[in-house]
Amino acid sequence: MTSSITLPSPAKLNLFLHIVGQRPDGYHELQTLFQFLDYGDEITLSLTPEQPGVRLESSLPGVSDEDNLIIRAAKAIANKIPDELSGVSIRIQKRLPMGGGLGGGSSNAATTLLGLNHLWGLKLELEELAQIGLPLGADVPVFVRGHAAFGEGIGEKLTPAFPPEDWFVVLKPACNINTGKIFSVKGLTRDTARITIAPAFEGDASRYRNDCEDVVLKLYPEVKQSMDWLTQFGPARLTGTGACIFGRFPTESAARIIWESKPSGITGFVAKGVNVSPLHQKLTELE
Ligand SMILES: C[C@@](CO)(OP(=O)(O)O)[C@H](O)COP(=O)(O)OP(=O)(O)OC[C@H]1O[C@@H](n2ccc(N)nc2=O)[C@H](O)[C@@H]1O
Ligand SMILES: Nc1ncnc2c1ncn2[C@@H]1O[C@H](COP(=O)(O)OP(=O)(O)O)[C@@H](O)[C@H]1O
Protein backbone atom coordinates (compact mmCIF):
# COMPACT_ATOMS: atom_id res chain seq x y z
CA MET A 1 0.00 0.00 0.00
CA THR A 2 1.24 3.56 -0.81
CA SER A 3 2.33 5.27 2.38
CA SER A 4 3.28 8.74 1.15
CA ILE A 5 1.77 11.12 -1.36
CA THR A 6 2.48 14.68 -2.57
CA LEU A 7 -0.55 16.57 -3.84
CA PRO A 8 -1.28 20.04 -5.25
CA SER A 9 -3.30 22.50 -3.19
CA PRO A 10 -4.33 25.07 -5.80
CA ALA A 11 -5.51 28.66 -5.51
CA LYS A 12 -8.99 29.82 -6.47
CA LEU A 13 -10.16 33.08 -7.96
CA ASN A 14 -13.60 34.58 -7.43
CA LEU A 15 -14.14 35.73 -11.03
CA PHE A 16 -17.01 37.77 -9.60
CA LEU A 17 -18.47 38.04 -6.11
CA HIS A 18 -21.90 39.50 -5.37
CA ILE A 19 -23.30 39.93 -1.87
CA VAL A 20 -27.02 39.33 -2.15
CA GLY A 21 -28.12 39.33 1.48
CA GLN A 22 -27.27 38.50 5.05
CA ARG A 23 -28.40 35.51 7.12
CA PRO A 24 -29.83 35.91 10.63
CA ASP A 25 -26.47 34.65 12.04
CA GLY A 26 -24.68 37.57 10.31
CA TYR A 27 -23.03 35.53 7.55
CA HIS A 28 -23.31 37.08 4.10
CA GLU A 29 -25.08 35.31 1.27
CA LEU A 30 -23.00 35.32 -1.86
CA GLN A 31 -23.25 34.60 -5.55
CA THR A 32 -19.79 33.95 -6.89
CA LEU A 33 -17.95 32.24 -9.72
CA PHE A 34 -15.01 30.09 -8.61
CA GLN A 35 -12.24 29.02 -10.95
CA PHE A 36 -8.99 27.25 -9.94
CA LEU A 37 -5.46 28.26 -10.90
CA ASP A 38 -2.69 25.87 -11.95
CA TYR A 39 -0.62 27.42 -9.16
CA GLY A 40 -0.63 26.78 -5.44
CA ASP A 41 0.85 25.00 -2.43
CA GLU A 42 1.96 21.39 -2.23
CA ILE A 43 1.16 19.03 0.62
CA THR A 44 2.99 15.78 1.40
CA LEU A 45 1.15 13.26 3.57
CA SER A 46 3.20 10.36 4.99
CA LEU A 47 1.58 7.58 7.00
CA THR A 48 3.39 6.72 10.23
CA PRO A 49 1.73 3.51 11.45
CA GLU A 50 4.37 3.20 14.20
CA GLN A 51 3.39 6.64 15.61
CA PRO A 52 -0.38 7.32 15.90
CA GLY A 53 -1.72 10.89 15.74
CA VAL A 54 -1.57 13.80 13.32
CA ARG A 55 1.63 15.88 13.10
CA LEU A 56 2.73 18.89 11.06
CA GLU A 57 6.43 18.90 10.07
CA SER A 58 6.43 22.54 8.95
CA SER A 59 4.50 25.19 10.90
CA LEU A 60 3.16 28.34 9.25
CA PRO A 61 4.21 31.76 10.55
CA GLY A 62 1.51 33.29 12.75
CA VAL A 63 -0.68 30.15 12.75
CA SER A 64 -0.53 27.73 15.69
CA ASP A 65 -0.52 24.08 14.64
CA GLU A 66 -3.89 23.48 16.38
CA ASP A 67 -5.46 26.31 14.34
CA ASN A 68 -3.83 25.24 11.09
CA LEU A 69 -6.60 24.11 8.75
CA ILE A 70 -4.41 21.19 7.61
CA ILE A 71 -4.32 19.77 11.15
CA ARG A 72 -8.00 20.53 11.73
CA ALA A 73 -8.92 18.72 8.49
CA ALA A 74 -6.68 15.75 9.29
CA LYS A 75 -8.21 15.41 12.77
CA ALA A 76 -11.74 15.67 11.36
CA ILE A 77 -11.17 12.74 8.98
CA ALA A 78 -8.99 10.73 11.39
CA ASN A 79 -12.23 10.13 13.35
CA LYS A 80 -13.18 7.71 10.60
CA ILE A 81 -10.41 5.20 11.36
CA PRO A 82 -9.24 3.43 14.50
CA ASP A 83 -6.84 5.53 16.63
CA GLU A 84 -3.97 3.07 16.32
CA LEU A 85 -4.00 3.41 12.50
CA SER A 86 -4.25 7.20 12.43
CA GLY A 87 -0.54 8.16 12.32
CA VAL A 88 0.27 10.78 9.69
CA SER A 89 3.02 13.32 9.28
CA ILE A 90 2.27 16.33 7.03
CA ARG A 91 4.61 18.72 5.21
CA ILE A 92 3.53 21.83 3.33
CA GLN A 93 5.33 23.84 0.71
CA LYS A 94 3.56 27.20 0.96
CA ARG A 95 3.48 29.43 -2.10
CA LEU A 96 0.10 31.12 -1.70
CA PRO A 97 0.02 34.32 0.33
CA MET A 98 -2.13 33.95 3.45
CA GLY A 99 -5.18 36.17 3.66
CA GLY A 100 -4.89 36.93 -0.05
CA GLY A 101 -8.38 35.92 -1.18
CA LEU A 102 -6.87 32.92 -3.00
CA GLY A 103 -8.40 30.41 -0.59
CA GLY A 104 -5.10 28.85 0.45
CA GLY A 105 -6.27 27.68 3.88
CA SER A 106 -9.48 26.11 2.53
CA SER A 107 -7.52 24.52 -0.31
CA ASN A 108 -5.00 23.04 2.15
CA ALA A 109 -7.89 21.57 4.17
CA ALA A 110 -9.46 20.03 1.04
CA THR A 111 -6.17 18.53 -0.17
CA THR A 112 -5.64 17.00 3.28
CA LEU A 113 -9.15 15.51 3.31
CA LEU A 114 -8.89 14.01 -0.19
CA GLY A 115 -5.30 12.87 0.34
CA LEU A 116 -6.06 11.02 3.58
CA ASN A 117 -9.26 9.56 2.09
CA HIS A 118 -6.99 8.14 -0.64
CA LEU A 119 -4.11 6.96 1.58
CA TRP A 120 -6.39 5.39 4.20
CA GLY A 121 -8.59 3.81 1.49
CA LEU A 122 -11.71 5.26 3.12
CA LYS A 123 -13.67 5.67 -0.14
CA LEU A 124 -15.75 8.53 1.30
CA GLU A 125 -17.85 10.32 -1.33
CA LEU A 126 -16.95 13.92 -2.27
CA GLU A 127 -20.31 15.04 -0.82
CA GLU A 128 -19.39 13.64 2.60
CA LEU A 129 -15.88 15.14 2.45
CA ALA A 130 -17.39 18.53 1.54
CA GLN A 131 -19.67 18.32 4.58
CA ILE A 132 -16.75 17.43 6.86
CA GLY A 133 -14.82 20.40 5.42
CA LEU A 134 -17.47 23.15 5.38
CA PRO A 135 -17.15 24.05 9.09
CA LEU A 136 -13.42 24.66 8.45
CA GLY A 137 -14.05 27.28 5.72
CA ALA A 138 -16.74 28.32 3.26
CA ASP A 139 -14.42 27.63 0.33
CA VAL A 140 -13.57 24.04 1.33
CA PRO A 141 -16.52 22.46 -0.59
CA VAL A 142 -15.49 23.89 -3.98
CA PHE A 143 -11.92 22.65 -3.48
CA VAL A 144 -13.26 19.22 -2.44
CA ARG A 145 -15.58 18.97 -5.44
CA GLY A 146 -12.79 20.09 -7.77
CA HIS A 147 -14.79 21.77 -10.54
CA ALA A 148 -15.14 25.46 -11.36
CA ALA A 149 -18.55 26.46 -10.06
CA PHE A 150 -21.19 29.08 -9.50
CA GLY A 151 -21.41 29.24 -5.70
CA GLU A 152 -24.42 30.39 -3.69
CA GLY A 153 -25.35 30.43 0.00
CA ILE A 154 -22.02 31.12 1.71
CA GLY A 155 -20.36 29.40 -1.24
CA GLU A 156 -21.38 25.82 -0.43
CA LYS A 157 -24.25 25.47 -2.94
CA LEU A 158 -22.33 24.69 -6.10
CA THR A 159 -23.33 24.40 -9.75
CA PRO A 160 -20.52 23.35 -12.13
CA ALA A 161 -19.42 26.13 -14.49
CA PHE A 162 -17.12 26.28 -17.52
CA PRO A 163 -15.64 29.80 -17.77
CA PRO A 164 -12.90 30.25 -20.40
CA GLU A 165 -9.53 28.93 -19.19
CA ASP A 166 -7.67 32.23 -19.60
CA TRP A 167 -4.32 33.30 -18.22
CA PHE A 168 -4.10 35.61 -15.23
CA VAL A 169 -1.63 38.07 -13.79
CA VAL A 170 -2.23 37.91 -10.03
CA LEU A 171 -0.78 40.69 -7.89
CA LYS A 172 -0.34 40.52 -4.12
CA PRO A 173 -0.38 44.04 -2.66
CA ALA A 174 1.77 44.39 0.46
CA CYS A 175 -1.06 44.15 3.00
CA ASN A 176 -3.05 41.37 4.65
CA ILE A 177 -6.80 41.66 4.72
CA ASN A 178 -8.96 40.01 7.34
CA THR A 179 -12.15 38.61 5.77
CA GLY A 180 -14.22 39.29 8.92
CA LYS A 181 -13.16 42.95 8.91
CA ILE A 182 -14.37 43.52 5.35
CA PHE A 183 -17.70 41.80 5.99
CA SER A 184 -18.25 44.04 9.03
CA VAL A 185 -17.79 47.38 7.18
CA LYS A 186 -20.99 49.44 7.43
CA GLY A 187 -21.04 50.75 3.87
CA LEU A 188 -20.49 47.35 2.21
CA THR A 189 -22.97 46.59 -0.61
CA ARG A 190 -25.20 43.80 0.70
CA ASP A 191 -28.21 43.99 -1.60
CA THR A 192 -27.04 43.16 -5.11
CA ALA A 193 -29.93 41.66 -7.08
CA ARG A 194 -29.68 37.90 -7.43
CA ILE A 195 -28.71 36.76 -10.90
CA THR A 196 -29.53 33.55 -12.64
CA ILE A 197 -26.88 32.09 -14.85
CA ALA A 198 -27.32 29.22 -17.26
CA PRO A 199 -26.46 25.82 -15.85
CA ALA A 200 -22.90 25.02 -16.97
CA PHE A 201 -22.14 28.75 -17.32
CA GLU A 202 -19.61 29.31 -20.10
CA GLY A 203 -19.91 33.07 -20.46
CA ASP A 204 -17.78 36.07 -19.69
CA ALA A 205 -17.59 36.74 -15.95
CA SER A 206 -16.10 40.21 -16.41
CA ARG A 207 -19.54 41.82 -16.81
CA TYR A 208 -20.13 41.08 -13.12
CA ARG A 209 -18.27 42.71 -10.22
CA ASN A 210 -16.81 42.08 -6.78
CA ASP A 211 -18.95 43.86 -4.17
CA CYS A 212 -16.03 44.04 -1.70
CA GLU A 213 -13.86 45.98 -4.14
CA ASP A 214 -14.94 49.57 -3.35
CA VAL A 215 -14.49 49.07 0.39
CA VAL A 216 -11.10 47.37 0.00
CA LEU A 217 -9.80 50.04 -2.42
CA LYS A 218 -10.78 52.75 0.07
CA LEU A 219 -9.25 51.05 3.11
CA TYR A 220 -6.04 49.72 1.54
CA PRO A 221 -3.99 52.17 -0.58
CA GLU A 222 -1.62 49.29 -1.46
CA VAL A 223 -4.49 47.51 -3.26
CA LYS A 224 -5.52 50.73 -5.02
CA GLN A 225 -1.96 51.28 -6.24
CA SER A 226 -1.71 47.75 -7.71
CA MET A 227 -5.19 48.10 -9.22
CA ASP A 228 -4.29 51.42 -10.86
CA TRP A 229 -1.22 49.81 -12.42
CA LEU A 230 -2.96 46.65 -13.66
CA THR A 231 -6.05 48.41 -15.07
CA GLN A 232 -3.80 50.23 -17.57
CA PHE A 233 -3.77 46.94 -19.49
CA GLY A 234 -7.44 45.98 -19.18
CA PRO A 235 -10.07 45.29 -16.54
CA ALA A 236 -8.73 44.03 -13.20
CA ARG A 237 -10.63 42.69 -10.23
CA LEU A 238 -10.31 41.75 -6.57
CA THR A 239 -10.57 38.06 -5.58
CA GLY A 240 -12.62 37.24 -2.46
CA THR A 241 -12.14 39.95 0.14
CA GLY A 242 -8.62 40.59 -1.20
CA ALA A 243 -5.86 41.47 -0.96
CA CYS A 244 -5.00 39.89 -4.34
CA ILE A 245 -6.18 41.33 -7.62
CA PHE A 246 -6.10 39.77 -11.09
CA GLY A 247 -6.13 40.72 -14.74
CA ARG A 248 -7.23 38.28 -17.45
CA PHE A 249 -5.31 37.59 -20.67
CA PRO A 250 -6.02 35.26 -23.61
CA THR A 251 -2.53 33.74 -23.79
CA GLU A 252 0.41 33.02 -21.50
CA SER A 253 2.72 35.28 -23.50
CA ALA A 254 0.29 38.22 -23.26
CA ALA A 255 0.15 37.75 -19.47
CA ARG A 256 3.94 37.41 -19.15
CA ILE A 257 4.64 40.58 -21.11
CA ILE A 258 2.56 42.58 -18.64
CA TRP A 259 4.00 40.70 -15.64
CA GLU A 260 7.55 41.46 -16.73
CA SER A 261 6.80 45.17 -17.04
CA LYS A 262 5.62 45.50 -13.44
CA PRO A 263 7.31 48.06 -11.22
CA SER A 264 9.84 46.67 -8.74
CA GLY A 265 8.36 45.82 -5.37
CA ILE A 266 5.11 44.33 -6.74
CA THR A 267 4.84 40.60 -6.02
CA GLY A 268 2.50 37.97 -7.41
CA PHE A 269 2.54 35.39 -10.20
CA VAL A 270 1.21 34.38 -13.61
CA ALA A 271 -1.09 31.33 -13.76
CA LYS A 272 -3.69 29.63 -15.96
CA GLY A 273 -7.33 29.39 -14.94
CA VAL A 274 -8.46 25.75 -14.94
CA ASN A 275 -11.94 24.28 -14.56
CA VAL A 276 -10.77 20.93 -13.16
CA SER A 277 -8.69 21.29 -10.02
CA PRO A 278 -5.04 20.20 -10.34
CA LEU A 279 -5.68 18.16 -7.16
CA HIS A 280 -8.35 16.09 -8.89
CA GLN A 281 -6.23 15.77 -12.04
CA LYS A 282 -3.43 14.27 -9.91
CA LEU A 283 -5.74 11.93 -7.96
CA THR A 284 -7.23 10.65 -11.25
CA GLU A 285 -3.69 9.86 -12.49
CA LEU A 286 -3.06 7.87 -9.30
CA GLU A 287 -6.23 5.75 -9.63
C1 LIG B 1 -14.98 35.72 0.88
C2 LIG B 1 -14.55 34.34 0.46
C3 LIG B 1 -15.11 34.09 -0.97
O4 LIG B 1 -14.58 32.95 -1.56
O5 LIG B 1 -13.16 34.16 0.32
P6 LIG B 1 -11.79 34.77 0.91
O7 LIG B 1 -11.63 36.19 0.51
O8 LIG B 1 -11.80 34.63 2.40
O9 LIG B 1 -10.75 33.89 0.28
C10 LIG B 1 -15.08 33.28 1.42
O11 LIG B 1 -16.49 33.18 1.38
C12 LIG B 1 -14.67 33.46 2.86
O13 LIG B 1 -15.11 32.36 3.60
P14 LIG B 1 -14.32 31.83 4.90
O15 LIG B 1 -12.88 31.57 4.54
O16 LIG B 1 -15.08 30.73 5.51
O17 LIG B 1 -14.37 33.07 5.79
P18 LIG B 1 -13.74 33.28 7.23
O19 LIG B 1 -12.36 33.83 7.09
O20 LIG B 1 -13.91 32.05 8.06
O21 LIG B 1 -14.74 34.40 7.74
C22 LIG B 1 -14.38 35.33 8.73
C23 LIG B 1 -15.63 36.07 9.13
O24 LIG B 1 -16.17 36.78 7.99
C25 LIG B 1 -17.59 36.83 8.05
N26 LIG B 1 -18.18 36.19 6.86
C27 LIG B 1 -17.51 35.25 6.16
C28 LIG B 1 -18.08 34.67 5.03
C29 LIG B 1 -19.40 35.09 4.66
N30 LIG B 1 -20.01 34.57 3.59
N31 LIG B 1 -20.03 36.04 5.38
C32 LIG B 1 -19.45 36.59 6.47
O33 LIG B 1 -20.04 37.45 7.12
C34 LIG B 1 -17.99 36.08 9.33
O35 LIG B 1 -18.09 37.03 10.35
C36 LIG B 1 -16.78 35.18 9.60
O37 LIG B 1 -16.63 34.87 10.96
N1 LIG C 1 -3.03 25.99 6.18
C2 LIG C 1 -3.33 27.29 6.19
N3 LIG C 1 -2.97 28.07 5.16
C4 LIG C 1 -3.30 29.39 5.14
N5 LIG C 1 -3.94 30.02 6.13
C6 LIG C 1 -4.32 29.30 7.19
C7 LIG C 1 -4.03 27.91 7.24
N8 LIG C 1 -4.54 27.46 8.38
C9 LIG C 1 -5.11 28.50 9.00
N10 LIG C 1 -4.98 29.62 8.29
C11 LIG C 1 -5.54 30.97 8.67
O12 LIG C 1 -6.51 31.33 7.69
C13 LIG C 1 -6.38 32.72 7.32
C14 LIG C 1 -6.89 32.90 5.89
O15 LIG C 1 -5.95 32.36 5.03
P16 LIG C 1 -6.17 32.02 3.48
O17 LIG C 1 -7.14 30.92 3.32
O18 LIG C 1 -4.83 31.81 2.89
O19 LIG C 1 -6.73 33.38 2.92
P20 LIG C 1 -8.09 33.79 2.25
O21 LIG C 1 -9.22 33.25 3.11
O22 LIG C 1 -8.03 35.28 2.22
O23 LIG C 1 -8.08 33.20 0.89
C24 LIG C 1 -4.89 33.00 7.51
O25 LIG C 1 -4.65 34.34 7.77
C26 LIG C 1 -4.51 32.10 8.67
O27 LIG C 1 -4.66 32.77 9.90
The CATH number given to whatever domain includes residue 271 is 3.30.230.10
> Quick check: CB of 154 below 6 Å from ligand 1?
yes
If we measure between CA atoms, which residue out of 132, 98, 85, 82 comes closest to residue 112?
132
If we measure between CA atoms, which residue out of 213, 279, 282, 199 comes closest to residue 242?
213
Q: Which ligand is nearest to the Cα of residue 213, counting in written order?
A: 1
If we measure between CA atoms, which residue out of 32, 27, 25 comes closest to residue 213?
32
Count Cβ atoms below 10 Å from residue 286 Cβ, excluding itself: 9
Give how many domains the chain has, as a whole number.
1
Give Cα separations from 115 to 2, 40, 88, 118 (angstroms).
11, 16, 11, 5
3-class secondary-structure state, position 49: coil
Range of the domain at 50: 1-287
Under a CB-based contact definition with an 8 Å cutoff, are residues 46 and 284 in contact?
no
135 C-alpha to ligand 2 centroid (Å): 14
User: Which residue's alpha carbon is at the smallest distance from atom 17 of ligand 2?
Assistant: 105
Q: Tens-digit pLDDT profile for the chain (287 aa)? A: 569 999 999 999 999 999 999 999 999 999 999 999 999 999 999 999 889 999 999 899 999 999 999 999 999 999 999 888 889 999 999 999 999 999 999 999 999 999 999 999 999 999 999 999 999 999 999 999 999 999 999 999 999 999 999 999 999 999 989 999 999 999 999 999 999 988 778 878 888 999 999 999 999 999 999 999 999 999 999 999 999 999 999 999 999 999 999 988 889 999 999 999 999 999 999 98
Q: What is the pTM of this model?
A: 0.97
If we measure between CA atoms, which residue out of 12, 7, 6, 17 comes closest to residue 38?
12
> Quick check: CB of 137 below 6 Å from ligand 1?
yes
> Quick check: CB of 10 below 6 Å from ligand 2?
no
180 C-alpha to ligand 1 centroid (Å): 6
If we measure between CA atoms, which residue out of 286, 7, 15, 29 comes closest to residue 154?
29
150 vs 141: CA distance, rounded Å? 12
217 vs 214: CA distance, rounded Å? 5
